């Protein structure tokens, strides 16, 4: 049976793979198309892409407080803290794409360095409204990857509405074939 860590490694790879597909499709659009309000949670493709970076940054900075993660997430911990969930952290596409790629590399490296026992840790943190919480690290990782998938799904729809098809988005594409059944 595959470990819980294996599944998080799979999700980290999936996250990076999908972000490349999304950003490549978005790069083919004009700035007008990117910022057009399409009545999504965060308005536009641009607003939603920024929100995913904001959400990832907030969570990675929290995850960096885990005693085993201070080294692997050091560079992320030093990033400025977003002030709101709808903050536009980058005004140009290239900078946003570079930050997305940077975060995705850090996510893969961080997950790779986690141990199964690290996943059982209870993380104490404050949400963006300042409310204290204590939750199991593995459960927070599930939320982290689910949040990305949720909003990337919205971006996929918005890109489709703008005439861009990002192709296959199924996690199944990255699940290896098993040779021993």
Provide the annotated binding site for a divalent metal cation: 51, 147, 151
**pLDDT value, residue 25:** 98
Q: Which of 5, 1, 2 is nearest to 117 (CA)?
A: 5
Q: Which portions of the chain are predicted below pLDDT 70?
A: none
Task: Render the burial of 53-68: b for 16+ CB within 10 Å, e for the rest.
Answer: bbbbbbbbbbbbebee
**176 within a domain of the structure (yes/no):** no
177 falls within a domain = no
**Model pLDDT for residues 56-81, shown as the tens digit of each residue:** 999 999 999 999 988 999 999 999 99
Say which residue the tokens 């007008």 belong to.
Answer: 32
Contact 73, 106 (CB under 8 A): yes
Q: Tokens 């946003």 appear where?
A: 96
Domain coverage including residue 162: 4-170
**Structural domain includes residue 175:** no
Q: Which residues are annotated as a binding site?
A: 51, 147, 151
* Within a domain: 180: no
pLDDT at 1: 75
SS (H, E, C) 68-121: CCCCCCHHHHCCCCCCCCCCCCCCCHHHHHHHHHHHHHHHHHHHHHCCCCHHHC
Contact 99/90 with Cβ under 8 angstroms? yes
Does the residue 178 lie in any domain? Answer: no
Total domain count, the chain: 1
pLDDT of 66 reads 95
Domain of 140, CATH number, reads: 1.20.120.450
The pLDDT, as a whole number, for residue 70 is: 84
């Amino acid at each position: 049976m595959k470990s819980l860590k294996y599944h998080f490694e799979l999700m980290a790879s999936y996250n990076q793979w999908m972000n490349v597909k999304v950003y490549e499709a978005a790069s083919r659009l004009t700035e007008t198309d990117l910022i057009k309000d399409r009545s999504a949670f965060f308005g536009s493709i641009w607003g939603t892409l920024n929100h995913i970076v904001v959400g990832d940054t907030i969570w990675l900075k929290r995850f960096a407080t885990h005693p085993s993660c201070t080294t692997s997430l050091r560079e992320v911990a030093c990033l400025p803290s977003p002030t709101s969930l709808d903050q536009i952290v980058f005004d140009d596409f290239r900078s946003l794409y570079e930050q997305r790629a940077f975060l995705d590399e850090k996510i893969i490296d961080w997950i790779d360095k986690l141990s199964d026992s690290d996943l059982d840790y209870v993380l104490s943190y404050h949400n963006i409204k300042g409310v204290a919480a204590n939750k199991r690290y593995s459960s927070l990782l599930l939320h982290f990857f689910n949040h990305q998938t949720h909003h990337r799904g919205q971006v996929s729809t918005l890109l489709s509405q703008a005439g861009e098809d990002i192709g296959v988005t199924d996690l199944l594409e990255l699940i290896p074939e098993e040779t021993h059944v």
